[in-house]
Amino acid sequence: MPSVAGQSHPRTEDNFVLIAQTYLILSPLLAQQAQALRGINHRFSEAGSTFSLSAVAIVVGIAAAIVAMLFFGSRWIKLSDQCQNDSPRLLFIELCRALALSRTERRIMARVAIVAEAPTPADVFIEPRYLNAVLADRSWSKYETVLLNLKQKLFA
């Protein structure tokens, strides 16, 4: 409902009255709270405290530096261990990538390494006897064409 010039809206007057009443009720409580906060503030002011804000900042800075050093140090150690770790599994994966083997060929080569009991999975890439042993086994007949292609790719 639009207001006429010089007249205020009834709801606005009600809101104003409500705000004024709330202020009158809460002002003594807020004054007490403000007094308590001033007392707390005085305890931490330069005259009443035994430590300064700069000392707190230094302690927090040192703690942050220690946490950062631990975090980055652990990451550096983890990365250096991964780079220096010469694992047979990683070598197998690298050989599969270098030869651009498909996912099926990689799975078959991994299974050949397990079934033929190769000392390391990468041995199936350097010794044809592992592929020959699997080719002689009839249970691998459905993979015969893939195995022959791998043998040709690796040992031709």
Q: What single-letter DSSP state applies at residue 53?
A: H
Average pLDDT value for the chain: 78
Other CB atoms within 10 A of residue 154 CB: 17
Q: Exposed, middle or buried, 96 (CB in 10 Å: 0-12/13-18/19+)?
A: buried
Which has the minimum average pLDDT: 55-69, 71-85, 142-156?
71-85
Residue-wise pLDDT tens digits, 76-130: 887 776 666 667 888 888 888 998 889 988 998 999 899 888 888 888 888 888 8
Mean pLDDT of the region 20-47 = 67
* Helices and strands counted in the chain (H then E): 6, 0
> Is the pTM of the predicted complex or chain greater than 0.85?
no
Report d(CA 125, CA 105) in Å as an integer: 12
Q: Rounded to 5 degrees, what are φ and ψ at 101?
A: -75, 145
pLDDT classification of 43: cutoffs 50, 70, 90: low
Q: Which residues of 116-152 are buried (b: 16+ CB within 10 A; e: fewer)?
A: bebeebbbbbeeeebbeebbeeeebeebeebbeebee
CB 107 within 8 A of CB 118: no
Give me the amino acid identity at 129: R
pLDDT for 75: 85
Residues whose CB falls within 8 Å of the CB of residue 145, separated by 6 or more in sequence, listed in order: none
